[in-house]
Every structure is written in C-alpha cells, then in structure tokens.
A and B are shown apart, each in its own frame.
Chain A
Amino acid sequence: MTNTEKLKDLVVDVFLIDPKEFRVDLKREQIETWDSLGVVSLAVGVQETFGQHFTQDEAIGITGIPDVIKVLEARGISFDA
C-alpha cells in the first residue's frame, strides 16, 4: 500500500467521506465533517498510520490534505505514486 493510499484510507475513515471523493488537493472547506474533533482525530490517525506527531503549530495550520502531505514530506515520507 502506498503512502497516498494510506492517507486516503485515513481521511475516508476520519471524515466519513466516500473513497471516490478523496483527492490529494482537498481543502477543509470541501469536507463538511472537518470540525474541531475531526482535526484531533486526523492528528491521532497520522500518528498511528505514519508514526508522526503534529506539533501544535502544524495542527493549527492544517487547512486541507495538501498541508498534511507537506508536513509529512518534510519528515521524509514520500507521497509519490
């Protein structure tokens, strides 16, 4: 399973979106279930799935999936196909 597929599974699970809706450029405004508890769930899920812990500033600054990928790529996790 690629890292993009892992992230897709996580986002689908956390926000209950349909797998077909997932895109790597999804912004929080496009996910109506992106709420405060969802942000916390996403952070926990990233730790479980990728072993990476968001800092407070990172968690606050996440405005969509591209930001999640950016943070993880900065930690050496690749999202190339």
Chain B
Amino acid sequence: MTATGVVMLIERGPRENMADLERHWASARTFAYVQEKSAAAAPWLSGIQEQIPAPYRENHFCLLTSGSTGAPKLVIGRKHNSEELARVLHRVQDSEPVRETIVSLPLTYCYAFVNQWLWSRVMHRRLVLTSGFAKAEIFREALRRADNAMICLVGPQAALLRNMFGAERFPGVIRLHFAGGRFPQEQLPALREMFPNAAIFNNYGCAEALPRLTLRRAEDGDAASDIGSPLPGVHLKSGPAGELLFRSPYRSVAQLDSHGFRQIAPHEWIPNGDLVRYEGNGRWQLVGRAGEVFKRYGEKIALQQVISTVNRQWSGQIGYYREKDAAGEDGYVLLLSPQPSEENLRGLMRVFRSSHPRTHWPLRIESAAVLPLNSNGKVDSLAAQSMEHRSLLWRQRI
C-alpha cells in the first residue's frame, strides 16, 4: 500500500472498528467503509488502489451501494462536503435539542453514516450503537434510556416497532427520521403514541446523493409519496420520462464500479432510478421506480442482478414475476423449470444466503415442467403467473 493509497475498512458489526472509523475520518487518507459481505460480492474492490486516481486518494471517503442499476458501486464523497451537509441537516431538522443518536442500521449504510455517525461527530453528540431489531432487547433498552435522542429508521421498520415493542412509549426520543423505502404515513398515529415527544421527518435521498435530497415534516403532508422540498443548495428536476435528476453540493463526486472509475462533473444532473412529479410550491412526489429496480424493506433490489446470481447455480429456465408480501412490501416470485433436485435447490439457497441479504430473497420459489415464452424467446411473466401445475419449492414467511 502506498502512503496515499485508499484504506479499506471492513465493518463487521456495531461497535466494531469504531476507533478505526474515527481515525480514518480524521486522517487525510481516503478510506472505503464497506460491510464484509458486500466486499465479497464486489471482487473488483480489491483493485481500488489502482482505480481511484490520485486526487481522490486524500480527503475523500467511499461507501458501497447497489446504485440505480442494482450493480455494486462505490460512491466517493468529499469529507468536507459531507460535514457541511451534517451541519445543514442539524439546522433544517431543528436538531439543537438532540443530545444523542441511537443507531439501529449498519453504519456502512450512507443514511446512518451521514445522518447519525457523521452528524454526532460534527455536532459533538453522543452515538449509541445497537444492532437494531436483530437484537431487539438491546435496541429497546437504548430507546428506554433515550436522552433527547434522535433515531433514524427505514420505512418498513415502523411496522417492526409495533410488532416488537407493542404499546410501549419512548418519551426520550425527540426526533424520528425515516428514509430508505416508503414513508410510513399510515402508521403516524401509532408512532406518535410510541414516541410522544418526537418530531417525525421523511428524509428522502439516495446513496449517490450521500445521501439526502429533501426533507418533509410528517405533519406537512398526508401522502407517503410526498417527499417534501429539496434541502438548501439541492436542485431537483424530472427528466423526459419523469425520472428524478438532481444536483447537490453534498453528492458523491465520483463513482467506481465493475466498469471502472467515473468522475461526476460539477454541474451534472444525476439520475437515481426514481420517478417523480413536481407538485408546485417547491414540493415533490415520488411516482415509482424505473425499470425492474425496486425497494423492499428499504433495500434496493435489481431483479437482473438477482437473476445473475441464480444463473450461476441453475442452468435450467428462469422466470420471475412481481408480487407484494403480506405487509404490502414489493417482492418477486422466482420460477424454475424443470423441477430442481433437492440438491440443486439447496445449492441455490446457499447462493442466496452467501450473496444476498434476506430482502433480496424471493417471496417464493416455484417450479413448472415448462415455462411459457414470449415471441422473443423470453419467459412470459404474465402467463407464468397464471399457470396451473406450479409446484411450491420454498417460501418466505413474511
């Protein structure tokens, strides 16, 4: 490693590497902060020393995201810009009374990284680390002990709060932020009972924005799709197909993926895969996702990326169709033909387990003797969905 090389910091769990994270942020040297599994899924990361040009090897940081195409992508941000965003967020989110922030998401997730870790560092507030709902008793204890706390959740966790903590109230939480998926508008009454002293915010953004674009106080809108108004300095517009394009002084300045390094020009309009509509008065509505990329429990899924994984293990026909789960979250059903052996199916499960988080797993795996094809030779998803004689091989229970 050269003296100015990019340092890789692997996150293995809450409280792990925190001193290293602090040291790397304080150091001039650029570092990449990624989860262990994500690093394994992006083998090209091993070459970042050579691929990131010299001007970006100091005073920057890198986080891994799936990007609008679903392919792993390293977003590269300027430390100074993100620190400035933390100050802007502090001001516009009225965070001065907040004394601590309770982390329940991985810090490699740029929403938690900037909104919580970096904010706490810049504004000298306490950082309380938990594993979120994976160790719910610890998370609940942190909420019980909350002292003028801010928490940042992804939308689908609102339902988990009610499932896991029932009618318990957490008066020490005074700021409740949601991002990463649909804003839980319908659950606001329950959330206000659970967090009677909290101001609730919809925080819209994306990894490429590192991460924030807009802000809406919950009471300022009555639709989950209302993402509010751009943060100071951020500009939004919709493209010809209704796709969101943004400019932001806090965004990533460059990206690295399997195709190589790409600098983002200062005035470039950046797409993030969402479709939007301008509502007037500076406010924006989300309309949907472009293509086959969608979010499930806050995680972005690109079906083609998942199918590529399945293709590594399964040589038969592969099809899929979209379906929502019982909680109303988007998902998909995987179709295989012919019927795989027990050994084939286990192999496929091993690949899902090792290469994808649970949110990427199909709702069900079904098989049929033959899958219907379109005239272009591709599996006809619509016809496949209504086929009789499908066998259920495996299913998720949510």
Contacts and interface: CB of A to CB of B under 8 A. Distances in A.
Interface of A: 13-19, 28, 32-42, 44-45, 48, 56, 59-61
Contacts of B324: none
Nearest to B137: A60
Contacts of B359: 37
A59 B37 CA distance: 27
Nearest to A44: B397
Contacts of A59: 136, 163-164
Given A16-B352, A41-B397, A56-B165, A35 B134 contact: yes
Interface in B351-376: 352-353, 357-359, 361
Contact of A13 (B37, B133, B157, B394): B394
A30 B353 CA distance: 14
A14 B353 CA distance: 11
Nearest to A16: B353
A60 B134 CA distance: 9
Contacts, number: 62
Interface string B334-357: 000000000000100110110001
B136 A33 contact: no
B297 interface: yes
Interface string B11-55: 000000000000000000000000001000000000000000000
11 contacts: A13-B394, A13-B397, A16-B352, A34-B134, A35-B133, A35-B358, A37-B398, A38-B134, A39-B136, A59-B164, A60-B136
A60 B131 CA distance: 13
A56 B137 contact: no
A28 B131 CA distance: 12
B347 to A, nearest CB: 10
Contacts of B132: 36
Contacts of B396: 41
B358 A40 contact: no
B163 to A, nearest CB: 7
Contacts of B394: 13
A18 B343 CA distance: 11
A39 B140 CA distance: 15
B166 interface: yes
B160 interface: yes
B346 A48 contact: no
Contacts of B157: 36
